Amino acid sequence: MEIETEDLTAYYAEAFRAYQPDRDPPPIHISFYPYIGINHTIRVREGKVLVRIGDICREMPSPSQRGLAYILVGKILGKKIPRGAREVYNAYIRSAAVRDRATESKRTRGRKVVTTTAGHVYDLDEIFDEVNDLYFVPPIEKPTLTWSARKTYRILGHHDAVHDHITISRSLDSAEVPRYVVEYVLFHEMLHIVHPTKHVNGRRYNHTAAFRRDERKFRHYDTAERWIENNVRKLKKAAKK
């Protein structure tokens, strides 16, 4: 059963009083918003606190809503968040039913930016086929492949299981980047297809022991890892141009 936003306001006022007992809570406005997945925001505008709760949590029970209030208010005030608040909120959002709804939300509302597989230097289609033939038996069915819309350096590759999609950072589409580095990053993302995310006791495990064992089978594993580690600064500089 959905809780009225007027009732939720009391939780946020309570959280403000708990963190700042010597001050009156500011005016608070709460609304539900159709975010993709499980997302919430809290902002201060002209002295008013604006809270948007992801509508996937419309039916979240009162204890979890109260926990979320303490989490969001604690973050905006820079306060230590009570352990119990996190526990009761996480117990809800990590449940199988909510995870399923979040996945469906990403599938129906998410929009992936697809550019092209053919870069200025490297072609992801060609590299995928070579890596697939060399390392995967049976071969992996090809997902949607694309270079990222812009250069990045923190995330060099990403596999989106919901949309069956692999993105490789455009920062690697350069003559200064060895081909084996592009192969390695793509190989890593392909392994996520073979070793999908596991959920154990509400926690997500993306890189299992089996994943790490297979990752080391890449023929240039150590060299590729070393090149990435030694060139982070160069990639960062190129991404900011």
DSSP-derived secondary structure for 9-62: HHHHHHHHHHH-TTSPPPPEEEEEE--SSS-EEEEEETTEEEEEEEGGGTT--H
pLDDT tens digits along 127-141: 999 999 999 999 999
Superfamily of chain region 124-239: Metalloproteases ("zincins"), catalytic domain (3.30.2010.10)
Res 44: pLDDT: 92
The mean pLDDT value of the chain amounts to: 89
CA of residue 163 relative to chain centroid, distance: 14
Res 1: pLDDT: 46
pLDDT tens digits along 63-107: 999 999 999 999 999 999 998 999 999 999 888 778 877 766 666
Distance CA 136, CA 217 (A): 11
- Phi, psi at 205, each rounded to 5°: -125, 105
Name the 3-class secondary structure at 158: strand
Mean pLDDT by 10 residues, the chain (241 residues): 72 96 95 85 93 90 95 95 93 84 65 74 96 95 91 88 87 96 97 87 80 96 96 87 71
**Any idea where the domains of the chain sit in the sequence?**
5-109, 124-239
Domain 5-109 and domain 124-239 have a common topology: yes
Enter the pTM of the model. Answer: 0.59
CA distances from 16 to 63, 76, 85 (A): 17, 10, 14
- Burial degree of 141 (CB within 10 A; 0-12, 13-18, 19+): exposed
Spelled out in words, what is the top-level CATH class assigned to the domain 5-109? alpha beta
